[in-house]
Amino acid sequence: MNESDMEQIGDIDDGLGPGEFWTLKLYVAGQSPRSLAAFANLKKICTEHLPDKYSIEVIDLLEHPQLAAGDQIIAIPTLIRKLPTPMRKIIGDLSNTDRVLVGLDLRKETTS
């Protein structure tokens, strides 16, 4: 992935705190199918649930392996929510939207 895969978008009110902006980091391994799927799934989730309130930084660990230590990355792809705090991590291709929404604290877990 390259710099053109990074996205930053403005501001809108969708029930989040005023001016609350989400900073996300996606750790991937090159252009593998799982990495590409994770990025596509993340963009879809952000577009639907965080319109104009997020930035995504894609970090390719094949190009920058030293960056894995900073966020204690042990598997890829891994999504890190840096802001709003507290930090949260989700490992996988982000294909289970409900799990991702609960993991990011965008939707509360429901019990059946």
What domains are there in the chain, each with its CATH number? Answer: 3-9+20-103 (3.40.30.10)
For 28, phi and psi rounded to 5 degrees?
A: -135, 175
Assess whether pLDDT exceeds 60 at residue 32: yes
Inter-residue contact 82 to 90 (CB < 8 Å): no
Q: What is the mean pLDDT of the chain?
A: 85
Q: Which amino acid is at 38?
A: A
pLDDT over 80 at 3, yes or no: no
Edge-first strand order for the sheet with 78-83 is 7-8, 54-60, 22-28, 78-83, 88-91
Confidence of residue 58 (pLDDT cuts 50, 70, 90): very high
Tens of pLDDT along 76-107? 999 999 999 999 999 999 999 999 999 999 88
pTM as predicted? 0.79
pLDDT of residue 9: 32
- The residue among 47, 5, 26 whose CA lies nearest residue 90 is 26
